[in-house]
């Protein structure tokens, strides 16, 4: 049985308004009125302030940001695909909103299957959506968009899949394979976001470069940016770094870790997390992959000297970074993998880094962003342009 999470009642698949709303037509202006209202709810409500991921989502939903993101697509001729079904991840509570908004901005109707794994963030987010979608001024959007839940083995699963004109699949490799195994229309588009990993790259010698800031002040800025990428979503997002490549002198590395200890210590880790950090560090040392480990407040830094990709299978988050010292940027090619999504960087000139990475013979890295921005969602994600993938381009000759 399907549960409608907005009306909070059971419903059959054929009774979902998004399926029957064949003449769904909501203007871009109406969508922006809704997203602006949601942004305001997330950024000003007292129950959202303790969750940085909700504040970040609210900031992304600002009208100015969405206008900038859609500026290029608005110059071209796109039509909606029809019904988009989103299968959301269990480990990142807000991710389904980003793909939903992209599909909504392209004029699609949407069914969003929300994970059954409850969390405080998900509860608050659904409360804000419920409040707005039940208002009369957003009735048109609600008619074409439902947030639902059904179990994986529910008979509704194949039925919903067969109705989709596109499926957005968030989850681990096994979950994505299972959903892709469901029958669908011949022209149904699958946009799959499966298991990925990410890394950060820091030139610690940049701490001694000329400028108004002292080395300690620069280190504090770097440490804050790195911690922000590790702390939000408890390092469960694919774009959260699990590897930290660093280049430069050891004394400058020590300056950075001192700053990091001062930043990360503000968040007291649980005993379970400390135990997980200790177990992983000891396993890596016993395996011969790591030489030492150090604790920087809440963050565990495991120094790797013999890398093999299976180490990532052991890494379950818990505020841990595999730290690898490299002599130059070109050395990251030796750690290449098709599953590598994001590289965030600090201490390098953007143009110089772009030229180096562009010339490397690598399969991975879909995004290269300044340190601190790894979790900032963009419609260009995992190598997809979501706007073009969620629309049907009409060509005039």
191, 207: one domain: no
pLDDT of residue 251: 97
DSSP-assigned letters across all residues of 5-31: TTTTEEE-GGG-HHHH-TT----HHHH
**324 — pLDDT class (breaks 50, 70, 90):** very high
> Is 257 part of a structural domain of the chain?
yes
179, 221: one domain: no
**236 — pLDDT class (breaks 50, 70, 90):** confident
What's the whole-number mean pLDDT along residues 215-233? 94
Q: What share of the chain is helix, strand, coil (3-state, %, to 5)?
A: 45, 20, 35
Report the CATH number that the domain containing residue 73 is assigned in CATH: 3.40.605.10
**26 — pLDDT class (breaks 50, 70, 90):** confident
Which residues, including other chains, have CB under 8 Å from residue 323's CB and lie 6 or more apart? 243, 244, 246, 301, 302, 303, 304
User: Does the pLDDT at position 220 exceed 90?
Assistant: yes
173, 204: one domain: no
Domain that holds residue 255: 197-370
**23 — pLDDT class (breaks 50, 70, 90):** low
Buried b (16+ CB within 10 A) or exposed e, 165-190: bbbbbbbeeebbeebeebebeeebbe
Report the CATH number that the domain containing residue 314 is assigned in CATH: 3.40.309.10
- The answer to whether 197 and 229 have CB atoms below 8 angstroms apart is no
C-alpha span between 139 and 21 (Å, rounded): 12
Which tens digits make up the pLDDT trace of 124-147? Answer: 999 999 999 999 999 999 999 999
Phi, psi of 379 (to 5 degrees): -60, -15
What's the whole-number mean pLDDT along residues 103-116? 93
pLDDT of residue 270: 80
Element (H, E) at 367: strand 367-370
User: Does the pLDDT at position 268 exceed 80?
Assistant: no
Give the highest mean pLDDT range of 10-19, 168-177, 260-269.
168-177
Residue with tokens 């210590």: 265
Which tens digits make up the pLDDT trace of 326-359? Answer: 999 999 999 999 999 999 999 999 999 999 999 9
Residue with tokens 């002292």: 214
**22 — pLDDT class (breaks 50, 70, 90):** low
Which tens digits make up the pLDDT trace of 36-91? Answer: 999 999 999 999 998 989 999 999 999 999 999 998 888 888 999 999 999 998 77
210, 324: one domain: yes
**279 — pLDDT class (breaks 50, 70, 90):** very high
User: Does the pLDDT at position 24 exceed 80?
Assistant: no
> Is 5 part of a structural domain of the chain?
no
Q: What is the SS3 assignment for 127-158?
A: HHHHHHHCCHHHHHHHHCEEEEECCCCCCHHH
Domains contained in the chain, number: 2
C-alpha span between 51 and 64 (Å, rounded): 23
pLDDT of residue 294: 95
> Is 376 part of a structural domain of the chain?
no
Q: Which two tokens stand for residue 264?
A: 């990360």
Phi, psi of 42 (to 5 degrees): -70, -35
279, 361: one domain: yes
131, 209: one domain: no
What's the whole-number mean pLDDT along residues 220-244? 93
Q: Please provide the average confidence, as pLDDT, over all residues in the chain.
A: 92
pTM: 0.91
User: Does the pLDDT at position 278 exceed 70?
Assistant: yes
**CB 350: neighbour CB atoms within 10 A?**
10
Counting residues of the chain whose pLDDT is more than 90, the rounded percentage is 78
> Which residue, 353, 355, 367, 127, is CA-closest to 237?
367
Could you tell me the strand order of the sheet in which 83-87 lies? Answer: 9-11, 2-4, 145-149, 109-113, 83-87, 166-170, 189-193
User: Does the pLDDT at position 269 exceed 80?
Assistant: no
**192 — pLDDT class (breaks 50, 70, 90):** very high
Phi, psi of 47 (to 5 degrees): -75, -5
pLDDT of residue 65: 95
159, 103: one domain: yes
189, 201: one domain: no
217, 188: one domain: no
> Which residue, 86, 97, 87, 105, is CA-closest to 60?
97
160, 191: one domain: yes
**266 — pLDDT class (breaks 50, 70, 90):** low
């Amino acid at each position: 049985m399907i549960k409608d999470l907005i009306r909070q009642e059971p419903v059959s698949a054929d009774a979902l308004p998004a399926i029957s709303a064949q003449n769904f037509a909501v203007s871009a202006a109406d969508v922006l009125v809704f997203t602006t209202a949601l942004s305001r709810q997330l950024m000003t409500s007292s129950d959202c302030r303790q969750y940085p991921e909700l504040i970040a989502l609210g900031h992304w939903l600002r009208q100015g940001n969405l206008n900038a993101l859609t500026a290029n697509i608005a110059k071209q001729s796109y039509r909606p695909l029809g019904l988009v079904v989103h299968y959301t991840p269990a480990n990142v509570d807000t991710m389904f909103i980003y793909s939903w908004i992209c599909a909504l901005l392209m004029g699609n109707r949407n069914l969003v299957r929300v994970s059954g794994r409850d969390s405080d963030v998900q509860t608050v987010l659904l409360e804000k959506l419920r409040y707005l979608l039940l208002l009369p001024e957003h009735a048109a959007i609600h008619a074409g968009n439902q947030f639902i839940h059904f179990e994986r083995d529910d008979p509704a699963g194949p039925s919903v899949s067969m109705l989709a004109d596109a499926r957005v699949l968030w989850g681990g490799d096994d979950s994505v394979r299972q959903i892709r195994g469901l029958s669908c229309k011949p022209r149904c588009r699958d946009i799959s976001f499966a298991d990925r990993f990410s890394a950060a790259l820091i030139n610690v010698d940049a701490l001694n470069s000329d400028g108004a800031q002292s080395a300690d002040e620069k280190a504090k800025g770097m440490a804050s940016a790195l911690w922000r990428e590790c702390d939000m979503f408890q390092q469960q997002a694919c774009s959260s770094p699990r590897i930290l490549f660093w280049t430069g002198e050891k004394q400058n590395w020590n300056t950075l870790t001192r700053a990091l200890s001062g930043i990360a210590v503000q968040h007291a880790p649980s005993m379970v997390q400390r135990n997980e950090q200790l177990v992983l560090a000891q396993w890596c040392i016993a395996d011969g992959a790591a030489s030492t480990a150090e604790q920087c407040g809440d963050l565990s830094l495991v120094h790797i000297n013999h890398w093999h990709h299976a180490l990532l299978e052991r890494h379950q988050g818990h505020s841990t970074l595999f730290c690898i010292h490299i002599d130059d940027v070109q050395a990251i090619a030796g750690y290449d993998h098709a599953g590598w999504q994001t590289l965030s960087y600090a201490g390098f000139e953007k143009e110089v880094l772009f030229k180096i990475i562009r010339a490397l013979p690598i399969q991975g890295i879909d995004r290269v962003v300044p340190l601190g921005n790894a979790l900032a969602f963009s419609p260009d994600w995992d190598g997809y342009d979501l706007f073009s993938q969620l629309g049907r381009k009409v060509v005039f000759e």
